[in-house]
A and B are shown apart, each in its own frame.
Chain A
Amino acid sequence: MKLKKIQLHPFGGVENRSFTFHDGLNVIEGPNEFGKSTLSNALWHALFTHSKLTPSKLNKTMGRWLPKPNGDHVQVSLQFEADGKSWTLQKSWGARAESSLEESGGQSIVDPNTVQDKLFELLQRNEATWQHVLFVNQAQLTQTVHELQKNANRIDNIQPFVLGAASIPGDISADDLQDAIDEKIRDHYGRWDRDSDGPQKGRGIGNPWAQGVGPLLSAYYGQERVRAEYHKVIAHEKQVDTLNSQIRQVQEQLKEDQEFVETGQELRNGLAQRGSLEEKEKGFEKELKRLKKVMTDWPGAAKIIESKELEYNDVTKNLKTLERELEIAEQLKAAENFKKGYKRILDSKEQLKAASERLATLNSISADLLSELKNLDQKIKELQIKLEAQKLNASIESQQPKKVTITRGAEAAEDISLDSGENWNATADGKVTFDFDDLSIRVESGNSDVNQLLDGIQVAKDRQQEILRTLKVDDIATAIAADESYKETLAEENRLKGLYKSALQDQTEEYWKSKIAELDALPQTRSIEVLKDERSSSFQKEARLKAEIQQEKDNIEEWTKEYKTPDLLTDTIINTTTEQKETVSKLEKLPSLPDGFDSVPEYFDKLDKKATIQRQMNDQLTGLNIELAELSGASPEKTAEELREELDLQERVFQRRVNEGLALQRIESKLEKIVANRDEADPMANLETSIAAYFSNLTSNRYQKVRLDGNAPVEVIGPNSLEIDLLSQGTAGSLALATRLAMAELYLDEMKGFLILDDPFTDMDPSRREAAHICLGKFSENHQVILFTCHPEHAAEIIKLTSAARAEMTER
């Protein structure tokens, strides 16, 4: 932006004045009252102050520029070049607040916001840059010198030094800001464990940290202390409520029973009498009931006895008949068994008869003959064995059919028929004989006397046959079988004889027969079970009737003994009735039993119980009251309501602290990111070089360098190097101007812009001033400079030494 012309109409004490600027260095010279400050402010407000202001802001911002005494508005018009175009800006504040920005040959903007936005766009640098870097008033330069000298020993980096030295408020180095935020976070979270979100080591209000407690923990402790107290009070109140509730309950119960107990005490004597009289009355009633029953029963008792005795006799008679029938029934039952026994006798007798008859048909084999037979048989077998040892093989063959009788050993002769040429072979024991036709061929073994053997066999066999004939059996086996059969049948006959005898049971068969005949003559009866049941019930009836009869007899005896006669009994009833009436009459005069009770003892029982409970409850009440008094004595100083209010406040405070902590962390995080990005392209990188260059020029090369300690200029280096704090006022002023010019150059960079300077040479001696003029002239070759001065000689010098020109002023 390049300024062309400004008109104040009106502004402050200026009614209507214009200044026309040219490129390069513009000098505006005049005494202090001339209006330099007015012009500077008019320019500033035209560029940066919104035309639409609240009343208070108007008063605060523009109030001093309203024309005295009654001016209601101020107005500034400004012509400038920017963005390659010419612009006309007009702003007025107060009664005629408005803005307009017109591009030469273009559109005009009148909306104050849009005008201001467009202005910021054309200004390229922000308001603060213009204010602190490009609008350098005298006070700022003086401050720069002052800051330089004051801070020389503690400046620790270039950026804050430069900005601080140039008296640019607000700007802060990243390190300082980071340190401050770190410190703030450390302080804020002092003794607070962010991981567990509570006090470090869990030290709550029971064991609080004393040192290093940050605002967050402090607020937390504050909150928790009040909370604990609040809960304590609530607990106390609950305790009191509980006790009060118990007391009320006891009191209500006491009250409930109090009337009952008090009334009961008053009634006690009367009711005590009532108790005994009621008992007596009940006794009379019971007695009368009994007497009346006797009175009713006595006359009928004799008839009852008579009637029951008749019945008793019938039952007794009937019982006898029953007994007889039962006896027969039992005999009949026994007869069945008797008949079975008799049948067994007849059966066994029949079987015996059959066995005897069978025995009679069998041979009785003589034991001697049978033994002889067996011996003969044995002997024959032995002889035959011997004979068989004399074995002969015989063979015959006939040339023509022939019948031959062959006798081998002791065997019987056999007849064989041989066909023509037929061969016959056989063996023979000891001897073989062939008889045919008239020929007899006998062959004998030559080893022993075969014939003797054969004879012995034959003798034995003959004897056998003789015995068999005697025994009338065919062979020895039959003899043995006949012997065995005979013996078996004989044994059977003996067994049946035993059975028969046993069945007779030592009686004769005639006895059995006559007995059966007797039994068959008995009459038929009911079953034994039916008879026994009937007999049992008859026995019971008999016993009952007997007892009843006895009871009646006893009653009569008792009544007679007690009352003598029924008439006298009537007298007793009358007397008792009279006594009962007297008792009832007495009862009617006594207090009555309260409702809900059946008797005085029941009432007294309840009364006593309630009185006991009352005493216990009174004791309990006393205890509760003492407990409550103790509790009340220990009442907390503050009420729950007060503490709740306090707790609300503390909770709000704590929440604010929590939010602050989180905000600090977010700020820290964002700052770290900005610093990380900043390291890649530091806009202030060339600043110290630029300062050194300007400073060298301003001191006519007396100092060529600025020595840095870290980033801090601590020494200006030249032929006579000096610590910064030893710089003269003039040299410090030069350093301040160098700093200012370097800063302005840095910010104006490639852009079109202007620098406002207000009497920058005041503290310089002529030689330094000259150097400054030259230096400024050089600066103004690239940037428009508006230089205010109240020193005519300064103005003249700079105009002489540079291409500077005075700004043209027009007064209307």
Chain B
Amino acid sequence: MALKILHTADNHIGLSFAKYPDEIRERLIEERFLALERLVETANQQKAHFFVVAGDLFDKQTVAKRLIKRTVSILAKFEGDSVLVLAGNHDYYEGSENKLWLTFKSEAEGTCVTPLLKQETKEFESDAGRVCFYACPCPSKHSSDHMIGWTSDCDKEEDTVHIGIAHGNVDGFGLDSDNRYFNMSETDFQNSGLDSWLLGHIHVPFPKSGTTGNPSFFMPGIHTPDSIKCTHPGYAWLIEISDSKAFTYQQLTPGGIRFVRISDSLTDSDDVQKLSLRCDEMELKNTILNFQLEGRLDEEGKKAFKELCTKLSGECLHFSDESTIATVLDAAAISAKFPDGTIPNSLLLDLLNDEEHPEDAQIALEIMESINAQ
């Protein structure tokens, strides 16, 4: 029987989403719980032996008690051997006075949920055999040193699956030019002598492809998107380890919302049409959509774009437009709008000659239009 581990991380419960309107914010906060629930359900359906949260289950130290309580209650629904929750760099554990983890421990008491707050091994005798987890929690938000070095000194029995759980950046994988996030390397993993590592911190998944093999580490990615920077739907790993320690892994998509930023360039109405079709393919009611489009459109295109934005505002979970689209204002367009010899005609043509500031003509046109609108 293969050992099954559901591996998630970076759930960031407690994210405030302060920049969103109240109802959206509540929906986003709720989504983090719902996605976690989906993962627990999947883990139960798949009869996973362990449910591992490799750090940053919580977004910060000051997460409200009710949110901690709810999180534990969700995790406690796991029907396998144990839920192992590692302190990450956001929800780091620096000592016994940490209120977040005091609350967590208190809530988790008597459940299958175990916080991993110190460097230690956790050995289990599961249906699938013996497994030893090596907990490498973060004691702070930042550190130039990783926390996994100690594992190489541990004695490791052959008939046991040895799995490290850590949180931090991996060389060549995430972005940590300042080396502030517990940077680990492939060499560190090799030196540890463990069968593999379940990591957290980087919000995109690793391995990038495939379903079999023995990768030195797994990174699940965030379980449901948390910001526009997250371009994927939210992932987790369901990892199976055979008696011969062969790994197969399946990517889960528990996320219920998407953050999408579209940063294309629009040049004509057809582009707007294509953009509209692209948006139609999205599940808009669960999408936080942000446009950062640029380019220039003629009036017709701008009108179509405006209509599209209006439509999206109504259909998206949340829609924001930070586009900087200029109106195509060429001499012909100006001539089509303002009779010869008029001030607007002269001014716009003059502005149009300033190739360094193509937006000026558009701004002037908007002022003119606002005057006419009066």
Contact = CB atoms under 8 A, between A and B. Distances in A.
A169 B347 contact: no
Interface residues of B, number: 61
A663 B360 contact: yes
B307 to A, nearest CB: 11
Q: Kindly name the residue among A635, A656, A678, A684 whose own CB sees the greatest number of chain B CB atoms within 10 A.
A: A635
Interface in B256-306: 268-270, 272-273, 298, 300, 304
A228 B334 CA distance: 45
A517 B107 CA distance: 132
Contacts of A240: 140-141
Contact of A184 (B96, B359, B367): B367
A642 B140 contact: no
A103 interface: no
A170 B372 contact: yes
Contact of B371 (A55, A128, A176, A237): A176
B270 A128 contact: no
B143 to A, nearest CB: 8
Given A57-B300, A247-B94, A635 B61 contact: yes
A177 B343 contact: yes
B62 interface: yes
Interface stretch (A78-86, A529-537, A664-672, A703-711): A664-672
B162 interface: no
Contact of A683 (B19, B341, B371): B341
B337 interface: yes
Contacts of A180: 367-368, 370-371
Contacts of A660: 363
A637 B344 contact: no
A626 interface: yes
Given A247-B94, A660-B363, A128 B335 contact: yes
B177 to A, nearest CB: 15
A269 interface: no
Nearest to B59: A639
B97 to A, nearest CB: 4
B373 to A, nearest CB: 10
A659 interface: yes
A578 interface: no
A628 B359 contact: no
Contacts of A55: 270
B142 interface: yes
Given A126-B340, A127-B336, A237-B141, A247 B95 contact: yes
B235 to A, nearest CB: 19
B109 interface: no
A670 B351 contact: yes
B270 A670 contact: no
B350 A670 contact: yes
B231 to A, nearest CB: 15
Interface stretch (A25-33, A129-137, A271-279): A129-137
Contacts of B18: 637-638, 642, 646
Contact of B350 (A125, A635, A642, A674): A674
A57 B269 contact: yes
Interface in B319-357: 322, 324, 332, 334-347, 350-351, 354, 357
Interface string A628-639: 110011010111
Interface in A647-692: 649, 652, 656, 659-660, 663-664, 666-667, 670-671, 673-675, 678, 683-684
B164 interface: no
Contacts of A667: 347, 351, 360, 363-364, 367
Contacts of A639: 59-60, 90
B221 to A, nearest CB: 16
A698 to B, nearest CB: 23
Contacts of A476: none
Contact of B344 (A177, A625, A629, A652): A177
A177 B367 contact: yes
A453 B336 CA distance: 175
Contacts of B140: 240-241, 244-245, 248
Q: Kindly name the residue among A171, A251, A652, A660 whose own CB sees the greatest number of chain B CB atoms within 10 A.
A: A171
Given A637-B16, A666-B357, A54 B139 contact: no
A597 B19 CA distance: 64
Q: Kindly name the residue among A621, A626, A674, A678 whose own CB sees the greatest number of chain B CB atoms within 10 A.
A: A674
Nearest first, the 3 A-B pairs at minimum CB distance are A126-B335, A244-B140, A129-B339
Interface of A: 48, 54-57, 60, 120, 125-129, 131-133, 163, 168-174, 176-177, 180-181, 184, 237, 240-241, 243-245, 247-248, 251, 621, 625-626, 628-629, 632-633, 635, 637-639, 642, 645-646, 649, 652, 656, 659-660, 663-664, 666-667, 670-671, 673-675, 678, 683-684, 747
Interface of B: 15-16, 18-19, 59-62, 90, 92, 94-99, 139-142, 227, 229, 268-270, 272-273, 298, 300, 304, 322, 324, 332, 334-347, 350-351, 354, 357, 359-360, 363-364, 367-372
